[in-house]
Structure 1
Amino acid sequence: MTATVPNPTAAGSGRNATERFAQKERSAATVDQARVSAIATDAITALHEVIRKHGVTYAEYDALKAWLIRVGEDGEWPLFLDVWVEHVVEEVANAGRLGAVGTIEGPYYIPGSPESRSEATLPMRDGEQGTPFLFQGTVTDLDGNPIEDAQVELWHADDDGYYSQFAPGIPEWNLRGTVRTGDDGRFAFHTIKPAPYQIPTDGSCGALIAAAGWHAWRPAHLHLKVSAPSKQLVTTQLYFAGGQHVEDDVAQAVKPELVLHPTPAASGRGEEVTYDFALDPA
């Protein structure tokens, strides 16, 4: 595995997230002008009401314009939107889901991670820091029937809170991998427990956090995408009971159904947990 090129945390991470989003395949469907007009009108009207409610001054207005320009220059629009907006979009999009519970994707997903069958040890550096962790489970349909050849993608931060391909000096696929389930629907990942981390604070999003007196912390979490033919893809994050900031996640993405309760591993090394995914029909 090759290491990423060193770059400043917020600026480098923001540029990488923006570049990845630009490469993302998006719908080529015809724009519905009436819908765009309705949504844009309501959003702008809501902003007008905020200005009136708080008596926004010209100095504050100019500060807003300068900050919006800086967000673009820093490449932090994906970070801003994924931290403060995406959780509501996800809530609306998945309101009718009956099976596995979803939450936000965040800005650090990379497709095409190394693939294994049924069980995998995530790529990691020699001496990777962190508690050894076994994450395992079964993918089924809503009736509990196991799904063969389901794809389970897992990625997460390291013990310092950094993601490969978004922070300097980390090998390309570090702590990223994919497992295809066998005929029993089972999967297993050997990895390490991630740590809580601050979202980058040396850029424009950090400036907003400091000005508002907020905190910038996300609880430790695993990211997953689980999919299978003729089933709905579920994108989710899983958190750890008792972990820091589970109760006050800056991204507001924690749900009770997504909190894990690990136990000491049967191997005697680290911890383990079992978590199953039931997929809705497409």
Structure 2
Amino acid sequence: MTTETQATAAASGAGATARFRENKQIGGGTSQERVNALAGRLLKAVNDIVLDEKVTYDEYNAFKAWLIQVGEDGEWPLFLDVWVEHSVEEVANDNRHGTKGTIEGPYYIPDAPTQNTPATLQMRKDEPGTPLLFQGQAKNVAGEPLAGALIELWHADDLGFYSQFAPGLPEWNLRGSVIADGEGYFEINTIQPAPYQIPTDGACGALIATAGWHAWRPAHLHFKVSAPGHQPITTQLYFEGGEHVVDDIASAVKPELILAPTRRADGHCREVTYDFILDPED
């Protein structure tokens, strides 16, 4: 039987590509003028680099081969989500006054099993890791509670692997959708995830090794929070003092998104309170 530690970049990349094609509307009605402007600037930037850095044919051909390999490995979602999405997110959420957003990443799966609060994410019997109680309240920017807000949560396990993107894990392991109560309060029992390397046995890993970079993301919890009449927010929450919080390969950490869990009296579980603040729809 294949286990999660035998996950490969190719398999994860293929899964991420397939999910993207299922869930995204490609094109989005972008006008010809906008495509012309964006594509023109992108190509100019690439050509400026070639001229400024005096790129050789050997380097050009190595780059061409690498681009082909990214596609063959199915790693375009990984590449773009790690190195580009943080800037797109900054533009998208620039006018928000509520909770800070950050990247979605390639491992979101819609329609996770739904529970009312208090909830416990689906996990294996004796799931490895430190138990974590994540609790808080969903509110609007005026401080009013958002009854029945939906909190979607997903994260890696104690070895840094995501269900549905690594073999051997139950389908909905450490994934769930939780409905807040009438005052917007929620309680979610899960485990604290581990930092993890992005897959390094494919084209993205080759770039990282050749450039002398590291491949690590800090431990984090992914969220999508929504409520009728309000803009949904996609974000990640990190852990104070965690490895790679200050040098996240995806450049997605923001000071407002760092948690400081405390030990419960029994010493077995950690807990943290964090409120989500949603902006009104435009």
TM-score normalized with structure 2 length: 0.96
Change in Cα spacing, 1:95 to 1:192, as seen in structure 2 (3 Å) is same
RMSD of aligned alpha carbons: 1.6
Q: Which moved more, 1:164-173 or 1:3-12?
A: 3-12
**What amino acid sits opposite 2:50 in the alignment?**
I
CA contact (8 A) 1:134 1:265 kept: no
Change in Cα spacing, 1:229 to 1:267, as seen in structure 2 (3 Å) is farther
Following superposition, the deviation at residue 7 of structure 1 comes to 6.8
**What amino acid sits opposite 1:84 in the alignment?**
W
Matches within 5 A, 1:148-159: 148-159=147-158
Rounded to whole Å, the distance in 1 between the matches of 2:266 and 2:140 is 30
Q: Which moved more, 1:7-16 or 1:129-138?
A: 7-16
SS of the residue 2:35 aligns to: helix
**What amino acid sits opposite 2:49 in the alignment?**
V
**What amino acid sits opposite 1:171 in the alignment?**
P
CA contact (8 A) 2:132 2:191 kept: yes
1:97 aligns with 2:96: yes
**What amino acid sits opposite 1:196 in the alignment?**
P
Aligned-residue sequence identity (percent) comes to 62
SS of the residue 1:56 aligns to: coil
**What amino acid sits opposite 1:75 in the alignment?**
G
CA contact (8 A) 1:4 1:164 kept: no
Deviation per residue, 1:233-256 (Å, 9 max, x gap): 100000000000000000000000
Following superposition, the deviation at residue 28 of structure 1 comes to 6.6
Instruction: Report what 1:193 is aligned to.
Output: 192
CA contact (8 A) 2:4 2:161 kept: no
Instruction: Report what 1:126 is aligned to.
Output: 125
Rounded to whole Å, the distance in 2 between the matches of 1:136 and 1:247 is 25
TM-score normalized with structure 1 length: 0.96
Rounded to whole Å, the distance in 2 between the matches of 1:225 and 1:237 is 9
4+ runs deviating over 4 angstroms: 3-8
Unpaired stretches in structure 1, ≥5 consecutive residues: none
Rounded to whole Å, the distance in 2 between the matches of 1:218 and 1:176 is 19
**What amino acid sits opposite 1:80 in the alignment?**
F
Instruction: Report what 2:141 is aligned to.
Output: 142
Instruction: Report what 1:78 is aligned to.
Output: 77
Q: How many residues align?
A: 280
Deviation per residue, 1:4-57 (Å, 9 max, x gap): 999742111000000000101326753300011001101111111111111100
Following superposition, the deviation at residue 114 of structure 1 comes to 1.1
Rounded to whole Å, the distance in 2 between the matches of 1:200 and 1:15 is 12
Rounded to whole Å, the distance in 1 between the matches of 2:137 and 2:259 is 15
Unpaired stretches in structure 2, ≥5 consecutive residues: none
